[in-house]
Structure 1
Amino acid sequence: MPTLILVRHGRTAANADGVLAGRSRGIGLDDVGLEQARAVADRLSVIPLARLVSSPLLRTMQTARRIADAQKENVQVRREAGLVECGYGRWTGKKIVDLAREPLWATVQQQPSAVEFPGGERLADVSARAVEAVRRIDRRVERRHGPGAVWAAASHGDVIKAVLADALGLHLDQFQRIAVAPGSVSVITYGSHRPSVRHVNDLGSDLSGLAPAAGGDRPSGDAPVGGGA
């Protein structure tokens, strides 16, 4: 049962301007986003990552490369299409304030499982392909590096929220209850019985406790009675 660290990319100018960037090309980190990426890379530098994957978009690759550069051992950033941003179709490039006037906006807020963006992707499909991707990679990491391994994935807000909702046992219609800020860290361990969510939208805590224990193993995945130590 490896540990997965989900990292949302740092801020972009589109984030700052309230524009839905989606899969637009060439959207990189702004100065604040570069600092956020540096900060999260520094926080993860104490954790030897067995694998590092990223959505193929520029802003996530920039974030992931800074994480890789801060690692003590060489780690390659691998592109993972299953973690790419939601395909927002004709909503892409529009201001959020304008999209909030669209009839579909209320469904996005209240029943996201029913949403299909015009000319784009269904949120249910985003959830399915992102969850499949992280669970597939997690199994590969365990086979190659053992159950105590830690790996990281750089992705996008809605994608990470969908993965967290699945790990928390929530219906996709509840995923808007989860906040995932730029540069934040969320952590999941997929145990033998159920996932265990260890951090959500973490922007500053000490993550050194996530480093593999001596011997490389972790407990079986059973939930500790009484909450544990």
Structure 2
Amino acid sequence: MRLILARHGQTAANVAKRLSTLPPGEPLTDLGRAQADALGARLADADVTAVYASTAIRAQQTAAPVAAAHGLDVTVVDGVHELFVGELEDRADEPARELFYEIEQAWEAGDAEARLPGGESAAEVFDRFRPVVERITKGASGTVVLVSHGGAIRIVGGALTGGPTLPGYLPNTGLVVLRPAGDGWELESVDETVPQPGDVAAGGPAE
């Protein structure tokens, strides 16, 4: 079986590069809905057996075309929402983004206990996300799709495969694909870029 962790499509906060992490959050933009449709088409030939989404509206809207392509429903699950940025919530100023990237770099260097002011550490994100992964993949076959959020996916994708946070940036509707390996998981692929409808790409650091 495979586990696909998919980032949601574009929102207005992505366009503004605003740190927006609290669910239910904002809906997709017109481009975001087009991205979701494109993701559904991209995964239409995959052997998808279940589709899950976080409690955020944007994640559920992104998951809907994927589920529809396979005659499935979207199951909403707790615990897989975006990492909370605490005091930086709804900020789009340069100091806020610089602080976010500073903490992100600490995570990439292996310091999972580093945390944003009033927000979460990478370790806390993994601790709430991991039980959901274990539950939705236990006894599963085919491909399980979970639509979540860029920051959380990078943290969890790294931790599940025995390393720190995955480096780089996961674009809107980007995918992290994992396969079982022994008692854990191995990384099959990570999207660095995703073709965008209209050749327009936009995203924010955490949203």
Q: TM-score, normalised by structure 1?
A: 0.75
Partner SS state of residue 117, structure 2: coil
Secondary structure of 1:116's counterpart equals: coil
- The match for 1:156 is 149
Q: Match for 1:110: what amino acid?
A: A
2:6 pairs with 1:13: no
Name the counterpart of 1:86.
83
Greater shift after overlay, 85-94 or 190-199? 190-199
Does residue 65 of structure 2 align to residue 75 of structure 1? no
Matched-pair contact (CA < 8 Å) for 2:22–2:82: yes
The change in CA–CA distance for 1:105 and 1:36 in structure 2 (over 3 A counts) is closer
Equivalence map 1:198-209=2 (5 Å): 198-201=188-191, 203=193
Counterparts in 2 of 1:68 and 1:123: CA distance versus 1, 3 Å: same
Counterpart check, 1:187 vs 2:177? yes
Give the Å deviation of 1:187: 0.8
- Alpha-carbon distance, 1:177 to partner: 1.5
The total of aligned residue pairs comes to 192
Secondary structure, aligned partner of 1:10:
coil
Task: State the one-letter code of the partner of 2:114.
Answer: V
SS at match of 1:190: strand
Q: 1:52 to 1:40 in 2, by over 3 A?
A: same
State the SS of the aligned residue for 1:81. Answer: coil
Residues of 1 paired with 2:168 and 2:131: CA distance?
20
Structure 2 residue matching 1:28: 3-state secondary structure: coil
Q: Paired residue for 1:22?
A: 21
Give me the identity figure in percent: 26
Alpha carbons of structure 1 residues 199 and 110: separation in structure 2 relative to 1, 3 Å:
same
Match of 2:104 among 89, 105, 108: 108
Does structure 2 retain, via aligned residues, the 8 Å contact 1:20–1:96?
no
Q: Does 1:31 align with 2:30?
A: yes
- Cα distance, 1:203 vs structure 2: 5.0
1:194 Cα deviation from its structure 2 partner: 4.1
The correspondence of residues 123-162 of structure 1 with structure 2, limited to 5 A, is 123-141=122-140, 148-162=141-155
Give the C-alpha shift of residue 49 in structure 1: 1.8
For residues 162-198 of structure 1, the C-alpha deviation after alignment (integer angstroms, 9 at most, x for no partner) is 1210233213xxx252431111122111123542211
Q: d(CA) in 1 for partners of 2:75 and 2:125? A: 20
Which residue identity does 1:39 align to in structure 2? A
For residues 6 and 152 of structure 1, the distance between their equivalents in structure 2, rounded to whole angstroms, comes to: 6
Structure-2 separation of matches of 1:19 and 1:107: 17
Contact 2:157 2:166 in 1 (8 A): no
Q: Deviation at 1:90?
A: 2.0
Contact 1:183/1:203, CA 8 A, preserved across alignment: no
